Amino acid sequence: MVLMIALCGCGGYSVMTSEINESNAMKKVYLSSNENESRSISVAEGKTCVVSFDIVSDSGTIDLALEKGGDNSYYNGTDVPTSQFDVSLDEPGEYTLKIHTDNHSGGFDISWVWS
């Protein structure tokens, strides 16, 4: 049995099959998504944060960005294919993780850990 939920917000919608949001992770699997989402990630002085991406892209597009202060882009991916990769954030400060989906079918599992 598959539970599907249509969610509206942030000027978009998703036909969801599952969603998990935690303080250091976000995971979604969906049949169709048209959304803009963002999360803040703080990195303390002397710490490093590794952001791990696990993307499944069956159709449509998913764009991802990691920015610091709106000007510095640490990662910017357009129409990201199914893939797994890490991005290290080694400067202290506030970062913004941005996710944009356009008729995207698939999902993502994004988590971050500090060391």
The three-state (H, E, C) secondary structure of the chain, written as one string = CCCCEEEEECCEEEEEEEEEEECCEEEEEEEEEEEEEEEEEEECCCCCEEEEEEEEEEEEEEEEEEEECCCEEEEEECCCCCEEEEEEECCCEEEEEEEEEEEEEEEEEEEEEEC
pLDDT tens-digit map of 25-35: 999 999 999 99
Domain of 100: which CATH number?
A: 2.60.120.380
pLDDT tens-digit map of 34-67: 999 999 999 999 999 999 999 999 999 999 999 9
Domain that holds residue 93: 5-114
* Number of domains making up the chain: 1
